[in-house]
Amino acid sequence: MNYTITCYSTALFSTWFFIEELGLLFDAGDGLTSKLLQKSRKIKEVFITHADRDHITGLTQFNQLNARAGYPKIFYPKDCGSFPALQSFLEKFDPHVKGTQWIPIKEQMAFKIKGNIYVESIRNEHVPTNKERTKSLSYKVVNKKRKLKQEFANLSGKEIAKISKEKGKDFLTNEIREVLIGYSGDTPMEEYERWDQTKILIHESTFLNKEVGLNTHANKHSTLEEVMKMVSVIKIEKLILSHFSSRYSKEEIDSSIREQIKKYNIKIPVYRILPGISYDNILEEDYLN
């Protein structure tokens, strides 16, 4: 399926990604509703990666315009105290707004959003904390189906129904997983395998390279070269690079990406989100290779 991904991502200022066909929003930085206008009404589920202000300040206007019975559902890392505080404030600030669900979540949870499509949460180490606490998450959009095991392929429908009744569908079938979209959020580079076999990977690359003294005390981020090195050894179909620092110009970003494409022999389409620019559908932009 082709997805319409409307987005904006500039480190420190604002980040959000709207996947229109799924009614799904990742993060909710400034400018969300002013860009989407009435389209923001299509958003049903919002998955926030962490509580940095550039990822959540768009929630105020979005919630005021779009809350209705049961929606939106706002999922957030359970140990981020900013979200209960924000919920409390918004309920007082906009007392007429009803219906929003605020849902704290941990790593390794899955939420059905449409048909066989689920969003799964993954721990990342952008916000350093102990293993018992959840303060920063990445996400996968996964299509889950069940397929009849080969050993039962020659049975009749009646026989299959009998076994299913006696032992359950899980005994008869295997789960088939297709990772449609991966969304890193802000994160340092971690194990490569988490994004292997992902069709569309949206990954942050805040810094073009490891500069001396950069990002030593702040929350942790990835560099462009780290991301491209990872992509060279896993299998994905499309890469969207995001969250570049505004210290870099368009020319610096594009030149660095092309250099890394050549260095790591990247064959898949590579898209980038330039600082300060919003995109109606990033996948309709020209890719850099």
Question: Edge-to-edge strand order for the sheet containing 137-148?
Answer: 110-114, 117-123, 137-148, 173-183, 198-204, 236-242, 270-272
Count other C-beta atoms under 10 Å from residue 195's C-beta.
Answer: 23
In the structure, what pLDDT confidence band is assigned to residue 180 with cuts at 50, 70 and 90? very high
Instruction: Dihedral sign for Cα 207, 213, 218, 219, please.
Output: positive
* Whether pLDDT at 93 is above 80: yes
Higher-pLDDT residue of 2 and 240 is: 240
In the structure, what pLDDT confidence band is assigned to residue 213 with cuts at 50, 70 and 90? low
Q: What pLDDT is attached to residue 126?
A: 94
* Whether pLDDT at 76 is above 90: yes
* Whether pLDDT at 133 is above 90: yes
51 touches 31 (CB < 8 A): no
Q: What pLDDT is attached to residue 215?
A: 57
* Whether pLDDT at 99 is above 90: yes
What whole-number distance in Å separates Cα of residue 273 and Cα of residue 283? 11
**Average pLDDT for residues 253-259, to the nearest whole number?**
97
**Average pLDDT for residues 156-165, to the nearest whole number?**
79
Element (H, E) at 182: strand 173-183
* Whether pLDDT at 177 is above 70: yes
Q: What pLDDT is attached to residue 229?
A: 97
What is the residue type of 10?
Answer: T
* Whether pLDDT at 216 is above 70: no
Tokens of 186: 């802000």
Element (H, E) at 14: strand 14-19
Higher-pLDDT residue of 199 and 218 is: 199
What integer best gives the mean pLDDT of the chain? 93
* Whether pLDDT at 285 is above 80: yes
In total, the chain counts a number of residues equal to 289
What whole-number distance in Å separates Cα of residue 196 and Cα of residue 68? 37
The least confident of 37-51, 171-185, 190-204 is 171-185
* Whether pLDDT at 212 is above 60: no
What whole-number distance in Å separates Cα of residue 262 and Cα of residue 256? 10
In the structure, what pLDDT confidence band is assigned to residue 74 with cuts at 50, 70 and 90? very high
What whole-number distance in Å separates Cα of residue 26 and Cα of residue 269? 22
**Average pLDDT for residues 234-249, to the nearest whole number?**
97
Within 8 A by CB and 6+ apart from 124, the residues are 49, 136, 137, 138, 184, 185, 186, 187, 188, 190
